[in-house]
């Protein structure tokens, strides 16, 4: 019995590869398995190789394995591109339609199954993916009833006949495969799961859900990979809460519209990726200077310029911290799991209002689009804090039309915030340096006071658990550090290394800016080597750690910028090579 | 009762004496008073440039943003609080150069706000460069041999972009300008108002006298029908855009907000942020 199954389906983009993976995963999810998915796709609508790799485990999983147990191929390219991930224990299920050929050095046996033919006999070759799911079920010894609920849900609206046909396709796929397998039937059976119901979602869903739970009622956005799902979720759900989404003419309009809405007192945000964030930089500065709350999601993808729009990278880090001209206070939050994506998004909206500044929620393509098992969100943990929002009856009537001190210099630097429409609080807001009432001022003493006030606000950030820490050792050989979706691969590596008697601690940074200096300082101090793992070429996080914590002599930067996520075995090898090189 | 004096504040404008922008400011103040808006229910959102300072000179909520982006800020605010009266304003550089994209898309979108462009056909604050509204051959610091590009035609542009309210005013005729802005505020949808607001320092061609000589007032055109888009286009082309008054208005077109599915009839800002546990659980079910 397998403790983990690594399953992949591949074919041409636009021929249902995505939904094959989806249906298979949904069924496994309902059995209580933990899942973690990876989508390989290209920036085009139809054509080009695409595949969907899914890891299934009875216990928590947040990484894709290096190897494959089952490869389902709808074309020869799928075999040619992916066979190197196969081992002697793996198997290829290939559609007879394309007369598949196994490469000479392919370690796994190949079964040629008439997916398309069986589907066509049942009425439409479109159902070939259901036949393939049935065949997979035979390898796993899964009861086809497992798929009934999922099929009902997906095809129910097309009528009972379509549901039955699809179930027949699964059944026949199972039977056809069973005949070929003989006594290998069920050889890939996975250890049983706990049967508990959990959510199965992409990070973008978790972020969007979080925004909605945080009370967002307006979103302005421009479509871009890999952020669009956030906007799509809001378009689906905001009408239920009276809110609205505007698809803007560009990202500049998206960010400034969100500022306008926040200025009006409604929680609003936008979501984009690198190119969009580059366009939003001036607006981010405006939010910082005018002390208007603003939340922006940056789903990182391969850069620079158009870069690798559909590939994994974590290279926007420096821009998110330092981008925009001049100096403003800014918060950068980087969740690493579906759960964190949800709770941290809520934190982002609270902090944006409490500190009256821009907050970036940093994600990356693998977190945003990789589908994963997520523990159901806890309603009781949804807390809404709006900071120093002042009501009209708390404000004395102004004499001789003097303006409300919206930018009052206070002890904590946070000024009382009022909303347009408040009777007694008329004031001015401007991106020009201004005095306490918002009137433009170039006076040197005022300039310094306002700068100090704005920049000082970061000291008062209220962010729960700025670092995910799993540090079993007081004296560690290695401290692994990462952010965003590398969480799973580092968790995995920590376990493997510990099993081979290397003392490993793990810190995953959740609040990137302001940097959690204290926590990280003590973790770095407790380690002989600090191995910083990130998907970029220049070691941006490593440099940030050097700037904030030091530890230059023990810092080892491990980078990957080929567009693919880190894989556990590959990364272990990379790290071990560094160790034997006398780096530890 | 509210009067225009209620919209005056204690700030002395830094515009040059004789600048057309003074009259635009006065017209907005008078129009707001005539409509009966309370100062705290008005928000003026402006761009960057001499004209952009206007939001600081009116006793109301004011937001002086970034160059070319007054319109998206204004729309975001209106979406948040539909009870506010929102006026966006800026110069011809703001609206027809750096912010041109927002101008066209705001016109198409038809969110219920009023947009007043203070058009002086020159870049004043940066001390005299060509504007997209400068006429061909117009000599400036950046076009010493005369402007090569044809100028943007705001009224034609608005009409072809699906505008529901198109008007043009002139700083010298504050009475007509006030009436236009008043109509713009009352219009349920996006009101596009271009105002000839002469720059007395850097534009020695398009002066007050020049405009007086060249402008046609629509109120003097007998039988002009401002509900007829074809007629509107014709008069704009015949006068080469040198016409003032309400050029076109479609009072029946629904605004953007009226068409957004599910958009709350009460201001979003008044909504309770926290959803119920029942609503929360229903959202969770989508992913189970």
Q: Output the pLDDT for position A42.
A: 82
Shared-domain flag, residues A267 and A365: yes
Average pLDDT rounded to a whole number, residues A503-522? 98
Q: How far is CA A290 from CA A284, A345, A451, B43, in A?
A: 10, 22, 11, 16
Which residues of chain B lie closer than 8 angstroms to A197, CB-CB? Answer: 288
The answer on pLDDT for A396 being more than 90 is no
Please indicate, yes or no, if residue B191 is contained in any of the structural domains. yes
| Residues B11-30: tens digit of each pLDDT | 999 999 999 999 999 999 99
Average pLDDT rounded to a whole number, residues A494-510? 97
Q: Are residues B79 and A382, on separate chains, in Cβ contact within 8 Å?
A: no
Q: Does A345 touch chain B (CB under 8 A)?
A: no
Q: Which residues contact B215 (CB under 8 A, 6 or more apart)?
A: B170, B196, B242, B243, B244
Domain C-terminal end among A149, A184, A219: A184
Substitution target in B2, B5, B72, B275 with the highest count of A β-carbons within 10 Å is B72
Please indicate, yes or no, if residue B35 is contained in any of the structural domains. yes
Please indicate, yes or no, if residue A448 is contained in any of the structural domains. no
Please provide the DSSP assignment of B169-229 as one string: EETT-HHHHHHHHHHHHHSSS-EEEEEE---TTT-SSS-HHHHHHH-EEGGGSTT--TT-H
Q: How far is CA B23 from CA B27, B49, B176, B216, B218, in A?
A: 6, 17, 11, 19, 20
Please indicate, yes or no, if residue B8 is contained in any of the structural domains. yes
Shared-domain flag, residues A144 and A43: yes
The region of weakest confidence among A138-147, A559-568, B162-171, B250-259 is A138-147
Q: Where residue A318 sits, what CATH number does that domain have?
A: 3.40.50.970
Report H helices in A513-567: 517-525, 540-548
Please indicate, yes or no, if residue B268 is contained in any of the structural domains. no
Please indicate, yes or no, if residue A22 is contained in any of the structural domains. yes
Q: Are residues B77 and A264, on separate chains, in Cβ contact within 8 Å?
A: yes
| Number of domains observed in the structure of chain B | 1
Q: Output the pLDDT for position A582.
A: 58
Shared-domain flag, residues A221 and A328: yes
Please indicate, yes or no, if residue A441 is contained in any of the structural domains. no
pLDDT band at A16 (very low <50, low <70, confident <90, very high): confident
- Nearest residue in B to A28, CA atom: B288
Q: Output the pLDDT for position A578.
A: 84
Question: Given A256, A403, A422, which is nearest B72 (Cβ)?
Answer: A256
Which residues of chain B lie closer than 8 angstroms to A264, CB-CB? Answer: 76-81, 84, 269
Q: Output the pLDDT for position A401.
A: 87
- d(CA B240, nearest CA chain A) in Å: 29
Q: Does A387 touch chain B (CB under 8 A)?
A: no
What distance in Å separates the CA atoms of residue A386 and residue B167, rounded to the nearest whole number?
Answer: 41
Please indicate, yes or no, if residue A412 is contained in any of the structural domains. no
Q: Are residues B76 and A263, on separate chains, in Cβ contact within 8 Å?
A: yes
Question: Given A253, A254, A420, which is nearest B84 (Cβ)?
Answer: A420
Q: Does A533 touch chain B (CB under 8 A)?
A: no
Shared-domain flag, residues A258 and A324: yes
Q: Are residues B288 and A428, on separate chains, in Cβ contact within 8 Å?
A: no
Mean pLDDT of all residues in chain B?
Answer: 97
DSSP assignment letter at A85: G
- d(CA A363, nearest CA chain B) in Å: 20
| Residues A419-457: tens digit of each pLDDT | 999 999 999 999 999 999 999 999 999 999 999 999 999
Q: Does B82 touch chain A (CB under 8 A)?
A: no
Q: Does A257 touch chain B (CB under 8 A)?
A: yes
Which residues of chain B lie closer than 8 angstroms to A439, CB-CB? Answer: 11, 56
Which residues of chain A lie closer than 8 angstroms to B84, CB-CB? Answer: 264, 420-421
Give the angle B141-B147-B153 at the CA atoms, nearest 5°. Answer: 120
Spatial CA neighbour of A13 closest among A54, A53, A55, A44: A44
| Residues B155-173: tens digit of each pLDDT | 999 999 999 999 999 999 9
Q: Are residues A428 and B55, on separate chains, in Cβ contact within 8 Å?
A: yes
Shared-domain flag, residues A480 and A571: yes
Q: Are residues A426 and B60, on separate chains, in Cβ contact within 8 Å?
A: yes
User: How many Cβ pairs closer than 8 A exist between chain A and B?
Assistant: 211
Dihedral Cα A147, A151, A154, A155, nearest 10 deg? 170
| Residues B222-233: tens digit of each pLDDT | 999 999 999 999
Q: Does A439 touch chain B (CB under 8 A)?
A: yes
Please indicate, yes or no, if residue A420 is contained in any of the structural domains. no
Q: Are residues A263 and B63, on separate chains, in Cβ contact within 8 Å?
A: yes
Q: Which residues contact B115 (CB under 8 A, 6 or more apart)?
A: B71, B74, B87, B88, B89, B95, B103, B106, B190, B191, B192, B193
Which residues of chain B lie closer than 8 angstroms to A283, CB-CB? Answer: 66, 69
Strand order in the sheet with A268-272: A244-247, A218-221, A268-272, A294-300, A358-364, A331-333, A511-513
Q: Does B74 touch chain A (CB under 8 A)?
A: yes
Q: Does A212 touch chain B (CB under 8 A)?
A: yes
Q: Are residues B66 and A431, on separate chains, in Cβ contact within 8 Å?
A: yes
Q: Are residues A429 and B64, on separate chains, in Cβ contact within 8 Å?
A: yes
Q: Does A200 touch chain B (CB under 8 A)?
A: yes
Q: Are residues B277 and A215, on separate chains, in Cβ contact within 8 Å?
A: no
Selected residues 25-64 of chain B with any CB under 8 Å from a CB in chain A: 38-41, 43, 45, 55-56, 59-64
Q: Are residues A198 and B288, on separate chains, in Cβ contact within 8 Å?
A: yes
Q: Where residue A517 sits, what CATH number does that domain have?
A: 3.40.50.920
| Residues B64-114: tens digit of each pLDDT | 999 999 999 999 999 999 999 999 999 999 999 999 999 999 999 999 999
Q: Is the dihedral of CA A199, A202, A205, A207 positive or negative?
A: positive
The answer on pLDDT for A583 being more than 70 is no
Shared-domain flag, residues A125 and A227: no
Q: How far is CA A466 from CA A84, A91, A470, A517, A545, in A?
A: 39, 43, 13, 10, 14
Give residue B129's domain range: 4-259
Give residue A129's domain range: 5-184
Please indicate, yes or no, if residue A404 is contained in any of the structural domains. no
Cβ atoms of residues A481 and A491 within 8 Å: no
Substitution target in B39, B73, B276 with the highest count of A β-carbons within 10 Å is B73
The answer on pLDDT for A527 being more than 90 is yes
Selected residues 214-273 of chain B with any CB under 8 Å from a CB in chain A: 257, 260-264, 266, 268-269, 271-273
Average pLDDT rounded to a whole number, residues B199-222? 96
Shared-domain flag, residues A354 and A235: yes
- d(CA A251, nearest CA chain B) in Å: 11
Q: Output the pLDDT for position A584.
A: 53
The answer on pLDDT for A399 being more than 80 is no
Substitution target in B77, B94, B280 with the highest count of A β-carbons within 10 Å is B77
Q: Are residues A421 and B41, on separate chains, in Cβ contact within 8 Å?
A: yes
| Number of domains observed in the structure of chain A | 3
Q: Are residues A384 and B61, on separate chains, in Cβ contact within 8 Å?
A: no
What distance in Å separates the CA atoms of residue A518 and residue A326, rounded to the nearest whole number?
Answer: 27
Length of chain A: 584
Torsions phi, psi of A81, nearest 5? -80, -30
- d(CA B249, nearest CA chain A) in Å: 24
Selected residues 144-163 of chain B with any CB under 8 Å from a CB in chain A: none
Shared-domain flag, residues A150 and A229: no
Which residues of chain B lie closer than 8 angstroms to A379, CB-CB? Answer: 277, 280-281
- Nearest residue in B to A438, CA atom: B56
Shared-domain flag, residues A232 and A373: yes
Please indicate, yes or no, if residue B279 is contained in any of the structural domains. no
Q: Where residue B153 sits, what CATH number does that domain have?
A: 3.40.50.970
| Residues A216-239: tens digit of each pLDDT | 999 999 999 999 999 999 999 999
Domain C-terminal end among A184, A219, A234: A184
| Residues A116-165: tens digit of each pLDDT | 999 999 999 999 999 999 999 999 999 888 999 999 999 999 999 999 99
Mean pLDDT of all residues in chain A?
Answer: 96
Please indicate, yes or no, if residue A533 is contained in any of the structural domains. yes
Please indicate, yes or no, if residue A398 is contained in any of the structural domains. no
- A530 or A393, higher pLDDT: A530
Which residues of chain B lie closer than 8 angstroms to A442, CB-CB? Answer: none
pLDDT band at A397 (very low <50, low <70, confident <90, very high): confident
Q: Is the dihedral of CA B52, B53, B57, B62 positive or negative?
A: positive
């Amino acid at each position: 019995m397998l403790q983990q199954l690594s399953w992949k389906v591949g074919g041409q983009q636009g021929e249902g590869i995505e939904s094959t993976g989806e249906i298979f995963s949904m069924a496994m999810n309902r059995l209580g398995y933990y899942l973690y998915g990876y989508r390989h796709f290209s920036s085009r609508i139809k054509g080009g190789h695409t595949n969907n790799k899914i890891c299934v485990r009875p216990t928590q999983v947040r990484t894709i394995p290096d190897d494959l147990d089952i490869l389902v191929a709808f074309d020869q390219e799928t075999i040619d591109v992916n066979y190197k991930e196969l081992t002697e224990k793996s198997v290829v299920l290939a559609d007879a339609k394309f007369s598949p050929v196994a490469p000479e050095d392919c370690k796994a046996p190949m079964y040629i199954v008439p997916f398309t033919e069986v589907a066509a006999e049942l009425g439409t070759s479109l159902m070939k993916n259901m036949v393939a799911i049935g065949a997979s079920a035979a390898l796993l010894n899964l009861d086809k009833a497992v798929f009934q609920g999922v099929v009902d849900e997906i095809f129910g609206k097309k009528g009972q006949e379509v549901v039955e046909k699809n179930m027949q396709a699964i059944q026949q796929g199972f039977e056809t495969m069973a005949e070929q397998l003989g006594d290998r039937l069920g050889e890939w059976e996975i250890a049983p799961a706990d049967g508990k119901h959990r959510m199965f979602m992409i990070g973008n869903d978790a972020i969007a859900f979080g925004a909605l739970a945080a009370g967002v009622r307006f979103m302005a956005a421009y479509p871009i990979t890999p952020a669009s799902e956030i906007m799509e979720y809001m378009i689906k759900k905001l009408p239920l809460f009276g809110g609205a989404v505007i698809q803007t003419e560009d990202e500049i309009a998206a960010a400034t519209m969100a500022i306008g809405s926040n200025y009006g007192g409604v929680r609003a945000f936008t979501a984009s990726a690198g190119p969009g964030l580059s366009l939003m930089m001036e607006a981010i500065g405006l939010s910082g200077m005018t002390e208007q709350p603003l939340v922006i999601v940056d789903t990182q993808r391969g850069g620079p310029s158009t870069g690798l729009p559909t590939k994994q990278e974590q290279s926007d880090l420096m821009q998110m911290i330092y981008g925009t001209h001049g100096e403003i206070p800014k918060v950068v939050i980087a969740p690493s799991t579906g759960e964190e994506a949800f709770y941290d998004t809520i934190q982002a909206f609270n902090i944006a209002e409490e500190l009256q500044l821009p907050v970036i929620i940093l994600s990356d393509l693998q977190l945003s689009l990789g589908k994963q098992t997520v523990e159901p969100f806890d309603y009781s943990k949804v807390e809404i804090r709006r900071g120093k929002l002042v009501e009209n009856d708390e404000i004395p009537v102004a004499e001789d039309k003097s303006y409300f001190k919206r930018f009052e210099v206070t002890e904590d630097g946070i000024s009382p915030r009022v909303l347009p429409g408040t009777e007694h609080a008329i004031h001015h807001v401007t991106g020009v340096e201004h005095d306490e009432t918002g009137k433009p001022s170039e006076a040197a003493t005022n300039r310094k006071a306002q700068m100090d006030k704005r920049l000082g606000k970061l000291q008062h950030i209220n962010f729960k658990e700025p670092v995910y820490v799993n540090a079993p050792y007081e004296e560690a050989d290695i401290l692994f550090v990462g952010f965003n979706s590398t969480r799973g691969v580092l968790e995995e590596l920590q376990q493997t290394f510990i099993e081979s008697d290397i003392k490993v601690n793990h810190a995953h940074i959740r609040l990137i800016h302001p940097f959690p200096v204290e926590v990280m300082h003590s973790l770095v101090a407790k380690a002989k080597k600090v191995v910083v793992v990130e998907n970029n070429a220049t070691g941006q996080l490593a440099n940030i750690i050097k700037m904030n914590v030091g530890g230059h002599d023990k810092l080892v930067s491990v980078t990957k910028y080929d567009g693919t996520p880190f894989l556990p075995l590959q990364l272990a090898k990379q790290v071990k090579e560094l160790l034997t090189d006398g780096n530890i | 009762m509210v009067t225009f004096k209620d919209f005056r504040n204690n700030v002395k404008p830094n515009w040059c004496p004789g600048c057309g922008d003074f009259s635009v400011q006065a017209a907005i103040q008078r129009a707001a008073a005539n409509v009966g808006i309370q100062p705290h229910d008005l928000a003026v959102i402006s761009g960057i440039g001499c004209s952009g300072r206007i939001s600081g000179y009116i006793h109301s909520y004011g937001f002086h943003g970034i160059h070319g982006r007054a319109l998206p800020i204004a729309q975001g605010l209106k979406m948040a609080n539909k009870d506010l009266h929102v006026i966006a304003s800026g110069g011809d550089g703001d609206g027809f150069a750096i912010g041109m994209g927002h101008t066209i898309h705001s016109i198409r979108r038809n969110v219920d706000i009023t947009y007043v462009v203070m058009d002086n056909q020159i870049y004043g604050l940066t001390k005299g460069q060509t504007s997209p509204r400068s006429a061909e051959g117009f000599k400036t610091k950046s076009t010493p041999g005369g402007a090569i590009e044809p100028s943007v035609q705001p009224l034609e542009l608005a009409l072809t972009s699906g505008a529901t309210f198109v008007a043009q005013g002139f700083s010298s005729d504050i009475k007509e300008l006030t009436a236009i802005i008043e109509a713009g505020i009352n219009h349920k949808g996006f009101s596009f108002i271009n105002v000839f607001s002469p720059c007395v320092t850097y534009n020695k061609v398009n002066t007050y006298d020049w405009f007086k000589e060249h402008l046609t007032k629509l109120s003097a055109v007998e039988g002009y029908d401002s509900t007829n888009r074809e007629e509107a286009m014709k008069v704009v082309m015949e006068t080469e855009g040198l016409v003032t008054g309400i050029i076109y208005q479609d009072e029946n077109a629904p605004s953007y907000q009226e068409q957004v599915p599910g958009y709350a009839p009460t201001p979003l800002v008044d909504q309770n942020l926290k959803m119920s546990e029942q609503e929360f659980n229903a959202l969770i079910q989508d992913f189970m």
